[in-house]
Structure 1
Amino acid sequence: MFNLLIKNKKGIEMYRKSLGLLVSLLLAGCGGGGGDNQFAKDSYPTQSCPSNMTCDFMKAPKDYNNPNGEQVDIYYGVHKALDPANRIGSLILNFGGPSAEAVGGAGYMVEKELPKEILDRFDIVGMDPRGTGQSAFAKELTDCAVAQSNKQGDCSATYSQVAPFLGSNTVVKDMDMLRNLLGDEKLTFLGYSYGTRLGSLYAYTFPERVRAIVLDSPMSPMAENNVELRVGNTAGYDKVAAFRLDYATYPNRETRYQHVVDSLFSSTMSYVANDGAMLSLRDGISVMNLTVAREHFGDWQKIDDGLENLLDYDNASSLLNELSTNGFKSSRSRYSSSEDSLRGSALFKAVVCTDERSPLTDGELLASEYRYKSASSLYGSLTYHSTSELCKGWSAQRDPIPAVTDMASALGGKQILIIGGQYDPATPYTWTEEMAASFGASASKIMVDNYVDHGFSYSNISCVDQKTTAYLLDPDTKVAEETCDASALSQNKSFMIAPDTSHPAKDVIGW
């Protein structure tokens, strides 16, 4: 892809550094690798308990290898079942990340999203994972992230001190301790995105304590490190672009888009269209991000006509006008400067790097671009420059997560409900298939088709919500595999998909 036109080695290195810096800065403004928004909204106040919940702190070992040592506070909130005589138990929610707190999100779900059948029969529970909300280590991460943002320090020392106690293995043990504290013999859990890593790990670690687990928009249960995850994301972006731009009907669009991107990622860092309008690298990355943006943001529809005009007729003027009119030419991030967003980014790095099972050396990270490009010639360089170095130089102790495999026998026939989007830009559908394969005969799968989004249950997609509710109420009755065609549903007013940017799983840092 790189036709550099730069003859000496020093010049090539300077070009690559400047390109990498520009991509990183632009992605901060455009919402993360490949358009998947990675900057959390300050949607849920962490300073107080939601009015519809009762909150408390649970004491947990800082280090589960030393259970009688130092204890830390884990914040949780409970909304009691409305029909206590027919109460089934607690339903613990996690909204992903790893960055999102859950107490405020659970309060929102009680108020806005969960059906009466669930509210009647379950205590709805949110637990702020370590590093979020009011739980342990959130303040330390906030302090170091703010200092780093202000160029007054960094998080290296903080990571060495707390990252070993932030990983997914530890949070799963917190979940089990909370289950026991709430008086439930077995766990009922709904996890979105990164929450599916927690749910699947819980099933792996405590299979005998599983009642019902919903894994909505799954992460890969097999990925060994950050690069493997991000290469998977890269292939997913390619799939979304092909769907949105209808390559099957208009194959020339794929060729033109590749030509535009090759020019943007060349030494000129620009593309001049047939009408004389020039697309800068900054503009191009915005367009690439918006091509795979989630539906509920509504951003794709603001530039689709202009992009199709560029790809069909090589005219860029209307696209540049749409970028400018809708504010996409600004390099400012919507959320990245808030303290909570800085904390969320710091936690994201801490958990992802702590969880790595097969970490790559710094040299291997530098040489990994070919893996990204093999996944997508269109998005490969973009995601490589923005994501490959997340764990570069990581020196804190890791707590590697196991691969979740062969779960059917361990679960003894218990059913796990897996929900995935065919065109999910954050957790590609191949990960849903991997998760289903890991659970084998225990897996029941719902696929959402013709809809570019992430996090599907209890977001007004009727066929998903009905199946999820039925499963949570009765996990022993097998859920028939189904494809929910979201485009067909949206044409029927009684099943209209109402984009809801307030859903706690829709807008968090990470997965």
Structure 2
Amino acid sequence: MLVAALAACTSSTGAPAAPIFTEQRGPTGTVPAGLERFYGQSLTWGDCVRFAQTASDESTLKAKDARCTRLTVPLDYAKPDGATITIGILRVQAKDQDRRIGSVLVNPGGPGASGLTSAIRLAGQAKDSELGKRFDFVGFDPRGIGSSEPAIRCLTDQERDAERAEDDELDSSPEGVARVEAEQRDYANKCVQRTGDGVEMLANMGSRDVAKDMDVLRSALGDEKLTYIGYSYGTRLGSMYAETFPKNVRALVLDGALDPDQNVVDELVAQGEGFQKAFDAFTQWCVKRQDCALGQDQGRVLQGYWDLLRPLIDRPLDTGENGRKLSYSDATTGVIQSLYAEELWETLNNGLSELKRQRATTLMMLADTYFERDQNGHYSTTQDAFTAVRCVDDPRVTDKALVLEAQQRYKQAAPFLDDGKPASPALDACAFWPAPNTSQPHVPQIQGLPPVLVVSTTGDPATPYQAGVNLAKALGGGLLTYEATQHTAFLQGNRCVDDAGSAYLVDLTVPPAGLRCS
């Protein structure tokens, strides 16, 4: 029900700002004891630009049909009367309010990625379909991420630039390992010092707590049951929600799945295999072109690639931009960024061709895109949030023998990412994290879950196809196979995938078994 409507405001530029209004639609559905004030809270909606974290966000969040608010949740659900935090929320309302079914929550994964801009993009993609007409698209920045407060912050912009410029992790000598581990310990300490609520915030950053935030949001939006689209790491959130609140699920689309039972080492190796498969597909496309930076001989492309990138380990390439240099790790990151979708292969070939001419513009641009660095040198908090979430979602690895084995297996799985140096046993930041893990990989055991839909892409480099097969089996859900080389598929322009997923969300009709789209 509508509680209050406030007058429109005027922005600092003199243009009319979005009207501000407050509504209360909850509590709806099951409300856990002690959390009534959160589940029944009113939401005040207004302009979204104030939620922007980057210049790119600011442009996107100016969308005229988007409204934003803040959801209040407990910092620690074990202490519902204790400290609270806020979650950034964006909504694009259904085009046909008379036939509106409810809200569909969306999460783009990461972990650490903002859901606000994703919701605008997906709503635009679906605006002319039954999905867009009958659902409000709701994006949220998970706790500690993006516009949510407090936000995880570990490194300054200057420190992030400096970290990227170094290739310390390639030094496997005892001195090199000690230096890397000292840097990782310092990183964990900075996360504590620079994040509001310190250790307590870092201890409650995981998917366990985000799933509970999603249920509070479901109720506050007035939805008895949750409808959700989760991409990549967002599939873990969906799976966690299903385990925690199975009776509150209406429909889940889980696209680009993480294997629910895969430990962090096996997941790393499987991802390496996925990126190698995507790299091989790129080179097969490239060698057919006269301008291929790696030549026309498929048997020599890997050596040609190594010859281009490995010299950067000892001689980073000046970019001509305020003293910035392209390091080996940045060049590799740029390549990985371009392997997420076939549409970026042309850009990758251009970047490798430039590197042959001792130019670094394109590969650095791709790396900056991956790290979400804008032209002013400002970074989003995505990378810090990624680390914070993974450090409490998975058991920490402190066995150096296991770390060494993982690095060796990774190089074997992805030869194009082999730097030619001995593998290093250096521990990462999670080994020094100040809080214990709150969950771990496992096969979900869920009773009473309605049918869900898993979308898995055969050539997905980041979340390999088999992971989707395994998740669909674990959840007893349907599996839609997309035959392509890219990361995730739903609402990205393939009519077969989009129609099947939309029909499921609107009508709860699971696609026929064995459906394959291309």
- Contact 2:88/2:148 (<8 A) preserved: yes
Q: What residue number does 2:94 align with?
A: 81
Change (3 A) 1:322 1:427: farther
1:437 aligns with 2:473: yes
Change (3 A) 1:326 1:168: same
1:136 aligns with 2:138: no
1:483 aligns with 2:516: yes
- Contact 2:257/2:468 (<8 A) preserved: yes
Residue 469 of structure 1: which of 498, 502, 505 is its match?
502
SS of the aligned residue for 1:43 comes to helix
Distance 1:411 1:297 in 2: 39
Once the two structures are superposed, the pairs formed by residues 60-459 of structure 1 within 5 Å of their partners are 60-138=73-151, 141-142=152-153, 144-146=155-157, 148-149=159-160, 154-157=190-193, 158=195, 160-225=199-264, 227-246=265-284, 255-260=299-304, 286=331, 290=335, 293-294=338-339, 296=341, 298-302=343-347, 304=349, 320-321=355-356, 324=359, 327-328=362-363, 333-334=368-369, 335-336=372-373, 341-357=379-395, 359-361=397-399, 364-381=402-419, 389-405=427-443, 407=445, 410-412=447-449, 414-439=450-475, 442-450=476-484, 452-459=485-492
- Contact 1:103/1:127 (<8 A) preserved: yes
Change (3 A) 1:79 1:331: closer
Structure 1, unaligned runs of 5 or more: 1-39, 271-280, 308-317, 486-511
Q: What residue number does 1:493 align with?
A: none
- Contact 1:244/1:291 (<8 A) preserved: no
The letter for the 2-side match of 1:449 is E
Distance 1:268 1:84 in 2: 56
Structure 1 vs Structure 2: percent identity of aligned residues?
Answer: 27
1:56 aligns with 2:69: yes
Distance 2:330 2:60 in 1: 37
Distance 1:345 1:291 in 2: 15
Deviation at 1:391, TM superposition (A): 3.1
- Contact 1:58/1:76 (<8 A) preserved: yes
Aligned-residue Cα RMSD (Å) equals 4.1
The letter for the 1-side match of 2:466 is T
Change (3 A) 1:382 1:89: farther
- Contact 1:88/1:121 (<8 A) preserved: yes
Question: Which digits, 9 at most, give the CA deviation of each residue in 1:142-186, with x for residues without a partner?
Answer: 475447448899324346342112111111110011111122121
- Contact 1:94/1:102 (<8 A) preserved: yes
How many residue pairs end up in the alignment? 418
The letter for the 2-side match of 1:137 is P
Q: What residue number does 2:40 align with?
A: none
Distance 1:44 1:387 in 2: 38
SS of the aligned residue for 2:58 comes to coil
The letter for the 1-side match of 2:91 is V
The letter for the 1-side match of 2:468 is T
SS of the aligned residue for 1:92 comes to strand
SS of the aligned residue for 1:188 comes to strand
Distance 1:387 1:188 in 2: 43
- Contact 1:237/1:379 (<8 A) preserved: no
Distance 1:292 1:421 in 2: 17
Distance 1:431 1:383 in 2: 30
State TM-score, norm by structure 2: 0.69
The letter for the 2-side match of 1:444 is G
State TM-score, norm by structure 1: 0.69
The letter for the 1-side match of 2:505 is L
The letter for the 2-side match of 1:211 is R
The structure, 1 or 2, with the larger RCO (C-alpha pairs under 8 Å, 6+ apart) is 1
Using the TM superposition, name which of 328-337 and 475-484 deviates more.
328-337
Change (3 A) 1:477 1:176: same
Deviation at 1:394, TM superposition (A): 2.2
Change (3 A) 1:283 1:302: farther
Change (3 A) 1:54 1:268: closer
Distance 1:380 1:393 in 2: 24
Change (3 A) 1:285 1:160: closer
Using the TM superposition, name which of 196-205 and 423-432 deviates more.
423-432
